[in-house]
Amino acid sequence: MVVVDDDMDLRGRLRAALQEAGLVVIAEAENGRDAIDLAAHFRPDVMIMDIVMANIDGLSATHRIVERAPTVRILLLTGSDDLDLGMVGLRAGAAGHLVKGVPVPEIVSAVQRMVAGEPVVGPDLTWRLIESLRGLPVGGLGVRPVRSKLTPREWEVLDLLCAGLTVDQISDELVLARDTVRTHVKRLLRKLGAHSQAEAVSIANGIRATFAATGRDA
């Protein structure tokens, strides 16, 4: 485990509680930049991370960690019960979400569940996810398999390719440099075994159709 929070007292209490539960805490950090480095170096099972921090915030750090170390499961701690913020965190790549202020034993329990492979999402946020899924257009754009070679960012790029956007338009939509988008496209083509963007779109639609019909990855 790695604990990332700018509150030293909370980090200490979490470390003590996690270790008492038999979980190994290999490192701590107080900002997102250090969290990214620690995730890439140690590849912990779970990283507990605050959203609001100096230097690099938890959301930006989550994006980068998922791209560099996709096996790391991130439990985001937010300062409010704002469901929109929770949705943004999950879209960034987090596998869990809790509101700061919950009892420490509840955070430990959430970590244990994530180590076992379970996502940690409260009932209110789960309903928001269901409403979001119901609002998806026919055809499955935005539906993604649970396990995938692609990172969340690569799926975002692929979704927009499927919607007919060009690289320049995707760059504007995601507020990314053109070269960054081209790099994501090259990577997702390689991972999908596609030789063109059109072939990647066809493969993605096939994956979504299988997942939507069976609930299982192709």
pLDDT interval class at 133 (50, 70, 90): low
Q: Give me the pLDDT at residue 218, please.
A: 44
Residue where one domain finishes, among candidates 130, 161, 186: 130
Does 123 share its domain with 51?
Answer: yes
Q: Are residues 116 and 68 in the same domain?
A: yes
Residue that terminates a domain, selected from 130, 151, 181:
130
Structural domain boundaries enclosing 37: 2-130
Per-residue model confidence as pLDDT tens digits over 170-210: 888 888 889 999 999 999 999 999 899 989 888 887 776 65
* Last residue within a domain, chosen from 90, 115, 130: 130
Could you report how far apart the first and last alpha carbons of the chain are, in Å? Answer: 31
pLDDT in tens, 76-125: 998 887 888 888 888 888 999 998 889 999 999 999 999 998 989 888 88
Same domain, 25 and 89: yes
- Confidence class of residue 138 from pLDDT cuts 50, 70 and 90? very low
Residue 28 has pLDDT above 80, yes or no: yes
Give percent of the chain above pLDDT 90: 44
Domain match, 97 and 141 both: no
* pLDDT (average), residues 154-171: 87
> How far is residue 12 from each of residues 36, 42, 80, 109, measured CA to CA in Å?
20, 20, 22, 17
In the chain, how many domains are there? 2
- Percent of the chain scored above 70 by pLDDT? 87
In the block, residue with structure tokens 């509680």: 17
Are 112 and 141 part of one and the same domain?
no
Whether the pLDDT of residue 142 is over 80: the answer is: no
Cβ atoms < 10 Å from Cβ of 197: 16
167 and 97 both lie in a single domain: no
